[in-house]
Structure 1
Amino acid sequence: MTTRHTRLQEDTHFRVLLILQENPEMSQRELAEAVGISVGGLHYVLKALIEKGLVKIGNFTAAKDKRRYSYILTPSGIAEKASATKRFLALKIDEYEALKAEIDALKNQLADDELLQVRSDGR
């Protein structure tokens, strides 16, 4: 069983990998804003992804400021992103099914309530 913290961490890692695959040249500030976390939090996430071998750092050669980096997914990072995508999709499908069941139950309850109201008004 995963904890809420672990799920949030996995979700954040997944979102960072997803964005970096499409935009490896994003600055940490831009990436943090896109993911919805602080720059410090993003730095921690990037460090973890680099330590796991999922992301590597390269110089962003097109930048005037040569201190800018690009964050490139490694083959392991691409595989992890694919695996995380499957997990994320399964989670969202489960959430969708649960929400759909709740909506159906509420619709049924509303129909029952309206039927009771019509019966009580007609007496």
Structure 2
Amino acid sequence: MIDDATRYQLLKLLTERPECTQRELAAAMGISLGKVNYCIKALIVKGLVKTDNFRRNPNKGVYAYLLTPEGVQEKAHVTVRFLHRKIAEYDALQAEIAALRREVDDLAASGLDAGMGAA
């Protein structure tokens, strides 16, 4: 099973650069070539991606990865889920930063921060 972050990133890259090789996709995503191959095969089996070779290219092994209409719809759903997760992470980070600022302010108010730089 492909996690949402990987699925989102792969579908996004395939939309932007359908002619990318699996090696280029792996490098762009920071994952192994084997994982890219597995993910693309899974997306093809699910009917979200199809392959098409460039007929005019002298290298007949060059393929383009094209999102099917179902793939475009899945990309939209995954993008929404990914966005919600990132917003939740952002909100949690903001709350953590606010708590740390309060803690620093409390330390400053109590005069404890004056000696902290000497350690």
| TM-score, reference length from structure 1 | 0.86
CA-atom RMSD, angstroms? 1.8
Partner of 1:28: 22
Deviation track 1:23-46 (CA, whole Å, cap 9, x = no partner) reads 100011001111111111110000
Partner of 1:54: 48
| TM-score, reference length from structure 2 | 0.89
Separation of aligned partners in 2, 1:39 and 1:82: 25
Q: How many residues align?
A: 114
Identity level (%) = 48
Partner of 1:96: 90
Deviation track 1:38-57 (CA, whole Å, cap 9, x = no partner) reads 11111000000000000001
Separation of aligned partners in 2, 1:16 and 1:94: 22
Deviation track 1:41-87 (CA, whole Å, cap 9, x = no partner) reads 11000000000000001002353311111000000000000000000
Gaps of 5+ in 2: 115-119
Separation of aligned partners in 2, 1:109 and 1:37: 39
Name which of 70, 90, 100 aligns with 1:76.
70
Q: CA deviation at 1:10?
A: 2.0
Which consecutive segments of 4 or more residues in structure 1 shift more than 4 A? none
Gaps of 5+ in 1: 1-5
User: Which stretch has the larger CA shift, 85-94 or 63-72?
Assistant: 63-72
Separation of aligned partners in 2, 1:103 and 1:116: 20
